[in-house]
A and B are shown apart, each in its own frame.
Chain A
Amino acid sequence: MVQAHGRLNGKVAVVTGGTKGIGQGIVLRFLKEGAAVVYCSRSPENNRDNEALIARIPGAAERALFVAADVGNRQQMEDLVNGAAERFGRLDIVVNNAQGIAPIRSIENKPDADYTMTLMTGFYQSLWTSRAAAPHMRKAGGGRMIYFSSHWNIWGQPYSSDYNITKSANEALTRSAAREFGKDNITVNCITPAGDSWAYKSWADQNRDMAEASVRQFPMRRMGDCEVDIAGAVLGLCSDNGRFITGQVFCVDGGVWATAPLQMHEEGTDIHKGHSQTAVELTA
């Protein structure tokens, strides 16, 4: 259960990949805090869960707008951002949550196309949306940009080098964008989440022993809840409390960043097994 305090009343936010997992948690939390939220996924079919959940939040339906868009497509990302500003009259927040994930493969076996797809749906997504959002945020007197990194990147998770490189690029962009946009009162920060996301659940379902051992290494002995824990931190950075916090990477992970992690994947692990969605639909 989360408590609403109107922390985003009057604000307009864009969240990429907002139909499940962490992105969904952020969309719901932002709506409860009073923001108008424009969010995307590739297919309208993915939005069915959200429609029901949003209908239960008083007054949220008219502030929520789903857009079918591919985060690897520049034009669609620019249209998403500009469309949000047009529809709701301003733009204050962009959260770049979505990320395409290619099959788990060693560097020697991973095709170049995996690196291209991962960078386009991760790093380029952040770049395109930030470029498009900056003029709107300047006009609004300031703004918040949130990118996503990953523990896989911190620890050099084997067989995910494309993903890790993309997350490193997001962290680098965090620092550069923070310094370029700071004078316009725009903060830029990056999140390294450990959430009970769709991707995590999918993996944990297939690897129960390893999942249990992994959680024992968390100082808080649990994974984060998408809406309470992960979205809570994103909310804080996007609210007035985060107004002088910029250029930083935050591990929202119950402290596991400070301890030694277990190896989670073997080459060939199919983290999408048992699910019909394709890789690009995954959120970090």
Chain B
Amino acid sequence: MGLIEGQVAIVTGAAHELTQGIARRFAREGAKVVLVDRDQDAAQAAARAIPGTEARCANLSDPAAARALADAVAQAHGRIDILLNGAHTALKWDRLADRQAAPDFTAAFNDVLLGALNMMQAVHPHMKAAGGGRIVNLGSIYGSTANEGVTDAVTMDFALTGLSRSAGVEWGRDGILVNYLQAAMPDIAVFADYRARKGKSVETLIANTAMPRLADPVEDVGGAAMFLVSDEACFILGHRVLADGGQHLTAAIFEPGAER
């Protein structure tokens, strides 16, 4: 029997390969997984590829859409045990000083922060009524470090940190545990593309990481997510978990300047 057998999990940002890896792990451990993305085709393609999942399309930056989604899932499946907010910021590699105007955080703010907040509030009444639940906000290692040229990602990851801590402290009494998961160097297509262009810096970083390899989305990042949603992390809230093989202890050596 799986660790979350019979539970219902909502996984947002389902167009992302890393998020799909976590969804695959949840499904493997016995959960019914509802994959959500603004991009209907992407959500449906992911649901076809991952057994035990279904797709729903919603723009979660709209609170009413988030509420409608949560209500529909609760109606269809009778419960919501787990929410994984899996949308994350696409790196644009823009340096602040190169801009004449303030950087445009709109996309990152809407997709990552507002989407997560809206979904958290949308599932809260369902989880509270059921006596509890688990919420994981997926970010990146930029929620623990910083780098040049990724201001929007760093800002959103730190905002997600604050949101997760605050909600964790507020909702602990309802048995709803909110935590945040930060991944680094996942073995996905986007990172493979970056590695192909910036091989030397990536190899150096891997060699300097405690566990010198890329993160497998299902086994490594999915495993850390399972820790947070299973009976294991049942007394942990508002907390950071890094699924990074210790990379947060290593200085960042990417060379983003060359990305322009």
Which residues of A are in contact with B by a Cβ distance under 8 Å? 2-3, 5, 175, 178-179, 181-183, 185, 187, 194, 218-221, 224-225, 228-230, 232-233, 235-237, 239-248, 250-255, 257-259
Contact = CB atoms under 8 A, between A and B. Distances in A.
Given A232-B234, A252-B235, A245 B227 contact: yes
Contacts of A219: 168-173, 237-238
Contact of A183 (B210, B227, B236, B250): B210
A219 B241 CA distance: 19
Nearest to B221: A244
A251 B165 CA distance: 13
Contacts of A245: 223-224, 227, 241-243
Interface stretch (B39-47, B72-80, B93-101, B211-219): B211-219
A236 B168 contact: no
Nearest to B165: A258
Interface residues of B, number: 43
Given A230-B235, A255-B172, 15 more contacts: A3-B231, A182-B245, A183-B212, A218-B172, A219-B170, A221-B173, A232-B235, A233-B234, A236-B230, A236-B233, A237-B227, A242-B223, A243-B220, A244-B220, A258-B168
A179 B246 contact: yes
A94 B79 CA distance: 38
Shortest 6 CB-CB contacts between residues of A and residues of B: A236-B232, A219-B172, A182-B210, A229-B235, A244-B220, A255-B237
A244 B215 contact: yes
B155 interface: no
A257 B244 CA distance: 23
A232 B169 contact: no
Interface of B: 1, 3, 165, 168-173, 175, 209-212, 215-216, 219-221, 223-224, 226-227, 230-246, 248-250
Contact of A255 (B1, B210, B238, B241): B238
B172 A242 contact: no
A251 B211 contact: no
B246 A246 contact: yes
B186 to A, nearest CB: 10
B223 A259 contact: no
Contacts of A182: 209-212, 245-246
Most buried by A among B210, B235, B246: B235
A5 B3 contact: yes
A241 to B, nearest CB: 4
Contacts of A183: 210-212
Contact of A243 (B172, B173, B223): B223
Contacts of A230: 235
A2 B234 CA distance: 11
